[in-house]
Amino acid sequence: MAEKSKAALETAIRNDILNAITELLKEKYDTDVMPVSASEITMPTLDEEGNEKFAVIKVSIPRGSRNGAGGYDAYDGYAAAEDYKLDLEEKSAKRAASEAKKEAKRKADEAKRAAKKVVKELNEKGFDKMVHEVAE
């Protein structure tokens, strides 16, 4: 038996995974699951309002990145997952900092409005006039 090429081995893995996902989706959602390309399947579904939508699921077996020597540096799923986790944490931290900054600005603006209101009320009561009369 001849040895299979990398592409043939990768295709076999991809097809096995696609078949497993197809069977799982058919069983769970009781709907059609159809291939739309060699690496993608689609299925109809409904949103909360009953509108028909389609979900597309793609399975790929990445080779990695080109290394400049005519080959590839192997794809590392663990490293990719860790990079993604760090990226999400960074975005979350930026979002939290932005929210804190907005909240601080809102509180400062609120304090300014309250101070202006007090000054306005005092002026309406003639406090400014009384202060100037006493100073003279």
pLDDT in tens, 66-121: 888 888 888 999 999 999 999 999 999 999 999 999 999 999 999 999 888 888 88
Position with higher pLDDT, 133 vs 63? 63
Position with higher pLDDT, 106 vs 136? 106
Taking the C-alpha atoms of residue 36 and residue 42, their distance in angstroms, rounded to an integer, is 7
Q: CA-CA-CA-CA torsion for 20, 21, 22, 23, nearest 10 degrees?
A: 50
User: Which pLDDT value is given to residue 119?
Assistant: 82
User: Which pLDDT value is given to residue 68?
Assistant: 83
pTM summary value: 0.63
